[in-house]
Amino acid sequence: MNPNTKRMLMIMLVIVFGMMLFGSFFSKGEIIVPYDNAENSFLTLVKDGYVTEVEQEQSGKLLLKITEDGEKALDISSGTSVTSAVPGALTTDIRADITSVCAESGAKCQNEGQGPTISGLPPSDDGLIQMLISVGIPILVILGIFWYIMKKNQQQNNNAMNFGRSRARHTHGKSTVRFSDVAGVEEAKQELQEIVEFLKYPEKFNTLGAKMPRGALLVGPPGCGKTLIARAVAGEAGASFFSISGSEFVEMFVGVGAARVRDLFEQARKNSPAIVFVDEIDAVGRQRGSGLGGSHDEREQTLNQILVEMDGFEQSTNIIVLAATNRPDILDPALLRPGRFDRQVIVDKPDLKGRLAIFQVHARGKLISKEVDLEELARQCPGFSGADIAGVVNEAAILSARRNLKLIGMSEFLEAIERAVAGPERKSRIISEPEKLIIAYHESGHAIVQRILPKCDPVAKVTIISRGMTLGYTMALPTEDRYLRSQAEFEDQIAGLLGGNVAERMIFGDVTTGASNDIEKATEIARNMVMQYGMSESLGTRTFGKRDSMIFLGRDISEQRNYSEEVAKLIDEEIKKILDRGRERARETLTQYKDRLETLVQKLLVQETVYREEFEKIFADLPPKENSHGKPKLQNA
Ligand code: ADP
Ligand code: MG
Ligand code: ZN
């Protein structure tokens, strides 16, 4: 308990006692008589006819109006209030007691054996508690508010005073994360093992005169375990772990960032061996002089300070700086010089084996049914990051709990994966019959074109159940991550995207708004083909337009035009040609396979979802589609 709260408690106690004292002052002219079984008890007073009125006080006591004779009998001056404590259980039985007493002693009781008039309240609690509640609660509330305001003030003062202090979260003692908690990034673990060795046995390296790395840069997409593996390094080496995020450095006044860095390293030095983990280092470490807006000076100072600290490590300093980024391309080259973050450790998205291993890590300690095939699950979610998989396992556990299961089952896992890809199922959305028919034809159109065109990814599932923001969708399941894509692939993909729209027009002679997203995606692909990949015949192999990306957002914001009006027209024509070609191929395919389109639509209308095996049965006479790998993809209705 801090001294402040102690003082508050004292003040409260004093106030409460004060009130109690005050209360007893005013009850001076009061005498209390016992309830029964005694001389001058309440009941004898009633029996003797000395009581004219009984009133139950809020405190539960009985306040008695006494006749003059009664006052004489009790030997008190007139006006003194007379009360009788009431045994709790009897509170409601007072009337009965008085009646029976009066019946026994008839004559003496007033109103012909009726006894005193009784008025009062229903039975209530003990007086002290009553008082505490009626007095204490308001006091508590007021004190609470007072205390909160004081605390707030104090915090602000502290902030203003300590803004130069780093706010690094510091796990003192040992990090509990181990390498065994990180899966699917074996190479990264191997590289970092060296750092662990160094932190554990520095003498071994020092005696040989070996210089150990001062820092390593963890590079990889979000959610792949960069933070996790940094903690694991600290855990394995038994080192303290300090972490701070690059964006935290740049949030306050100029000069603060550098002061924070200094303080952070000071703390780390005191607690060495230590790992200093700088998350999102790109926020401070991007190329100097490239800032937008006025804050880049601040960033430069911060970055300089980090470099100074790292250069200033003595040979014996037992601190290693790990930094994480998903954009190594924009980092200042000075960060990557020897003696700084000269090692880059790639923490990439896991492959099939990696995903299985991550599933195994997160399945540890969970109640999972025997039927669950983790390998099949890993196969079902290509392109997922470690964080995605952690989310899937958790979601499956939540679903199982909601379904009151004792163990997490396979169907819960599959549902969780689907949720991760497409959002939760929305069975409640009411879709009219004619709309259902349109959606069925639309999705079947996508699915058939994708099945027939050779470069499209195999269809994993077609459904007309809405999920997330989509009405129905066709899920393609590429089974291999690809880094190079060919023109033929793009062309097939565009045809597949337009398949839904084409099917609608073929069957209903009309199209719906449901295809707008498909068309947008197809147009984007066509535009990139022409403008970036040089895949158009008439315009040749060159790029058009120079895209500026906004470093803060990691996103393209503007395009610099470096071509003429005429070329712009040509580009538009070329894009249109590609889209038309795709539409035509989709139409041809769907005309040729119209019977299967109808079959699939009927199936969808009956069972709403068609999975891969059943889908493939429709095409049993055709050669099977070869497998590929990649992230499951959605196509909107
Ligand atoms: P990053 O820092 O790369 O964005 P995190 O380390 O914060 O990713 O990962 C978030 C969470 O995802 C982790 O706490 C962990 O539960 C899970 N996770 C990510 N990668 C892995 C992995 N390779 N092995 C096990 N769990 C992982
Ligand atoms: Mg992270
Ligand atoms: Zn569609």
CB of residue 228 inside a 6 A radius of ligand 1? yes
Ligand 3 centroid – CA 443 distance (Å): 6
Do residues 190 and 83 share a domain?
A: no
147 located within any domain: no
Do residues 306 and 379 share a domain?
A: no
pLDDT: which is higher, 140 or 88: 140
pLDDT value of position 158 = 52
Residue 330 sits in a domain whose CATH number is: 3.40.50.300
pLDDT value of position 546 = 64
Query: What range defines the domain where residue 556 resides?
Result: 433-636
pLDDT value of position 203 = 84
Ligand 2 centroid – CA 322 distance (Å): 12
Ligand 1 closest atom vs CA 221: 3
Cis peptide before 273 (omega within 30 of 0): yes
pLDDT: which is higher, 501 or 631: 501
Nearest CA residue ID for atom 6, ligand 1: 225
pLDDT value of position 629 = 40
Ligand 1 centroid – CA 288 distance (Å): 30
CB of residue 226 inside a 6 A radius of ligand 1? yes
Q: What distance in Å separates the CA atoms of residue 310 and residue 265, rounded to the nearest whole number?
A: 9
Ligand 2 centroid – CA 320 distance (Å): 18
Do residues 403 and 446 share a domain?
A: no
Check: pTM over 0.85? Answer yes or no: no
* 319 bridge partner residues: 274
Do residues 414 and 446 share a domain?
A: no
Does the structure show a pLDDT above 70 at 124? no
Sheet holding 633-636, edge to edge: 609-611, 459-463, 473-476, 633-636
pLDDT: which is higher, 499 or 479: 499
Whether 189 contacts 182, CB under 8 Å? yes
Do residues 180 and 265 share a domain?
A: yes
Do residues 191 and 301 share a domain?
A: yes
pLDDT: which is higher, 371 or 69: 371
Q: What distance in Å separates the CA atoms of residue 168 and residue 174, rounded to the nearest whole number?
A: 16
CB of residue 183 inside a 6 A radius of ligand 1? yes
Provide DSSP, 25-94: HHTTTEEEE-SSSSTT-HHHHHHTT-EEEEEE-TTSPEEEEE-HHHHHHHT--TT-EEEE---GGGGGGH
Catalytic residue list:
443
- For residue 386, the ligand closest to its alpha carbon is 1
Looking at 387, 422, 457, the residue that finishes a domain is 422
Q: What is the pLDDT of residues 585-634, one digit of tens each?
A: 999 999 999 999 999 999 998 888 888 888 999 998 888 776 544 444 55
CB of residue 386 inside a 6 A radius of ligand 1? yes
pLDDT value of position 494 = 94
Residue 449 sits in a domain whose CATH number is: 1.20.58.760
- For residue 229, the ligand closest to its alpha carbon is 1
Ligand 1 centroid – CA 358 distance (Å): 9
Going by pLDDT thresholds of 50, 70 and 90, the confidence category of residue 550 is: very low
Lowest-confidence range among 55-59, 368-372, 569-573? 55-59
112 located within any domain: yes
144 located within any domain: no
Lowest-confidence range among 99-103, 211-215, 376-380? 99-103
Going by pLDDT thresholds of 50, 70 and 90, the confidence category of residue 132 is: confident
Number of domains, the chain? 4
Helices 3-26, 137-161: inter-axial angle, 10-degree rounding:
160
* Kind plus residue range of the DSSP H or E element containing 277: strand 274-279
Tell me the mean pLDDT in the region 217-241.
Answer: 90
Block residue for tokens 């990557």: 336
Do residues 341 and 360 share a domain?
A: no
Q: Which segment, 38-52, 251-265, 278-292, 362-376, is predicted with the most confidence on average?
A: 362-376
Structure tokens at 356: 């299985």
33 located within any domain: yes
CB of residue 600 inside a 6 A radius of ligand 1? no
Structure tokens at 77: 């001056």
CB of residue 361 inside a 6 A radius of ligand 1? yes
Sign, Cα dihedral of 135, 141, 142, 143: positive
Do residues 518 and 566 share a domain?
A: yes
Q: What distance in Å separates the CA atoms of residue 572 and residue 566, rounded to the nearest whole number?
A: 10
Tell me the mean pLDDT in the region 210-231.
Answer: 87
- For residue 326, the ligand closest to its alpha carbon is 1
pLDDT value of position 635 = 46
Q: What distance in Å separates the CA atoms of residue 403 and residue 405, rounded to the nearest whole number?
A: 6
266 located within any domain: yes
Ligand 2 centroid – CA 156 distance (Å): 29
CB of residue 281 inside a 6 A radius of ligand 1? no
pLDDT value of position 547 = 58
Beta strands at 546-550 and 555-560: parallel, antiparallel or unpaired: antiparallel
Q: What distance in Å separates the CA atoms of residue 479 and residue 473, rounded to the nearest whole number?
A: 19
Does the structure show a pLDDT above 90 at 214? no
Residue 359 sits in a domain whose CATH number is: 1.10.8.60
Around ion ligand 2, residues with a beta carbon closer than 5 Å are 227
Q: Which residues contact 385 (CB under 8 A, 6 or more apart)?
A: 221, 222, 223, 224, 349, 350
Ligand 1 closest atom vs CA 231: 6
Q: What is the pLDDT of residues 337-359, one digit of tens each?
A: 777 887 888 888 888 888 999 99
- For residue 225, the ligand closest to its alpha carbon is 1
Residue positions counted in the chain: 637
Tell me the mean pLDDT in the region 434-440.
Answer: 88
CB of residue 387 inside a 6 A radius of ligand 1? yes
Ligand 1 centroid – CA 554 distance (Å): 21
Nearest CA residue ID for atom 18, ligand 1: 386
CB of residue 221 inside a 6 A radius of ligand 1? no
- Report how many helices (DSSP H) and strands (DSSP E) the chain contains, helices first: 24, 17
555 located within any domain: yes
pLDDT: which is higher, 411 or 133: 411
- Tell me the CA distances in angstroms from 583 to 491, 502, 569, 588, 590, one per residue in order: 10, 7, 21, 9, 11
CB of residue 346 inside a 6 A radius of ligand 1? no
Q: If 0-12 CB within 10 Å is exposed, 13-18 middle and 19+ buried, where does residue 153 land?
A: exposed
Whether 449 contacts 589, CB under 8 Å? yes
Please tell me the number of Cα atoms within 13 Å of 629 on its side-chain side: 13
Q: Which segment, 58-67, 288-297, 316-325, is predicted with the most confidence on average?
A: 316-325
CB of residue 232 inside a 6 A radius of ligand 1? no
Looking at 89, 108, 133, the residue that finishes a domain is 133
Ligand 1 closest atom vs CA 218: 3
Nearest CA residue ID for atom 27, ligand 1: 386
190, 224, 355, best to mutate for ligand 1 pocket (most atoms within 8 Å of CB): 224
Do residues 294 and 376 share a domain?
A: no
- For residue 280, the ligand closest to its alpha carbon is 2
Ligand 1 closest atom vs CA 183: 24
Looking at 75, 109, 133, the residue that finishes a domain is 133
Average of per-residue pLDDT values in the chain: 79
Do residues 80 and 126 share a domain?
A: yes
pLDDT: which is higher, 621 or 555: 621
428 located within any domain: no
Going by pLDDT thresholds of 50, 70 and 90, the confidence category of residue 32 is: confident
Do residues 414 and 274 share a domain?
A: no
Burial 196-213 (b: 16+ CB within 10 A, else e): bebbeebeeeeeeeeebb
Ligand 2 centroid – CA 481 distance (Å): 23
Lowest-confidence range among 48-52, 230-234, 466-470? 466-470
139 located within any domain: no
Q: What distance in Å separates the CA atoms of residue 214 and residue 419, rounded to the nearest whole number?
A: 42
CB of residue 182 inside a 6 A radius of ligand 1? yes
pLDDT value of position 442 = 92
Backbone angles phi, psi at 170, to 5 degrees: -125, 115
pLDDT value of position 19 = 77
Q: What distance in Å separates the CA atoms of residue 476 and residue 580, rounded to the nearest whole number?
A: 23
Kindly state the DSSP code that residue 123 receives in the 8-state scheme: P
Lowest-confidence range among 37-41, 319-323, 391-395, 467-471? 467-471
Do residues 548 and 409 share a domain?
A: no
pLDDT value of position 253 = 59
Q: What distance in Å separates the CA atoms of residue 551 and residue 256, rounded to the nearest whole number?
A: 22
